[in-house]
Amino acid sequence: TESTQQPNPPPQPPPPTAPLPPPPPTVLPQPPAPPPPSPSSTARIARSPPKRRRRRRCSLCCCCFWTILVLLFVALLAAIAGAALYVLYHPHRPAFSLSSLRTSALNLTTAPDGSASRLTTLFNLTLISKNPNAHTFTFFYDPFTVSLSSSPGSVPLANGSLPPLASYPKNQTTLRTVVSGSWDDVDAGSVASLRSDLRRKGGLALKIRVETKVRVMADGRKSKKVGIRVVCDGVKGVAPPGDKNATAVANVADSKCKVDVLIKIWRFTF
């Protein structure tokens, strides 16, 4: 009998294996968290100005510093120049003196009812202008304004003027003028003050004020005009006698004239 060989059965596939679990994730060490900022440091950071503001402040401070430094340097140069000029030329301010004062009219009349008082005056004034500088300096004066008042009551009595003048070194110039005044309604206080002063034995105390502007020329160069004020005190005047052409000579032996430079700042004059 023929034997039949049975074919071998095909190999069975291996049973499926379970998938391998994924590897655990790698955990990196984390740096420690910084501590929370304190309230004071937070406020300090909020108040700190930005860099631009710091730069602006720095530039402003530098500008102010250099400006002050330049001004001080200019003032120093001016002081040195002034000292050198004084040592070289030894300049003197102009001088004035009162030569004579004559009263031609000093009439004070009051209405019968006392409602109004009238004052009429006329004075002949002689001033002397001196330039004490030995050389170089020449004074050029503008027209003068002259006023005369009682002292210390400061009751205005007369006004006048003088022409312009050029005063050369070591020169003396005599200035003559007539000052007068007329007031139709003088207040009662001024009337009482004048009547009281006229009765005094020494006479009526008078004050003469002269104002002008002067320019100085030295070595061909002229300065800017500067205002000056001349005040003469110590004058004793009396009313003239009743004669028509009579005059009264004031006592000027004790008179002194002071010259002040007028400094004008904005609207104020000192």
Indicate the SS3 state at residue 29.
coil
- Residues 181-217: tens digit of each pLDDT: 999 888 888 888 888 888 888 889 999 999 999 999 9
Q: What does the pLDDT read at residue 1?
A: 44
How far is 260 from 270, CA to CA, in rounded Å? 9
Provide the percentage of residues in the chain whose pLDDT is more than 90: 42
DSSP letter assigned to residue 14:
P
Q: Give the global pTM.
A: 0.68
First and final C-alpha spacing in the chain: 163
Q: What does the pLDDT read at residue 28?
A: 60
Alpha helices in 150-257 (DSSP H): 188-198
How far is 182 from 170, CA to CA, in rounded Å? 39
- Residues 59-87: tens digit of each pLDDT: 788 888 888 999 999 999 988 987 887 77
Beta strands in 132-203 (DSSP E): 138-141, 144-150, 156-162, 165-167, 171-183
In this prediction, residue 144 has a pLDDT band, given cuts at 50, 70 and 90, of very high
Domain coordinates in residue numbering, the chain? 95-269
How far is 108 from 195, CA to CA, in rounded Å? 8
Please state, as a whole number, how many other Cβ atoms lie within 10 Å of the Cβ of residue 131: 20
DSSP letter assigned to residue 246:
-
Q: What does the pLDDT read at residue 66?
A: 87
Region of poorest pLDDT, from 13-27, 108-122, 253-267: 13-27
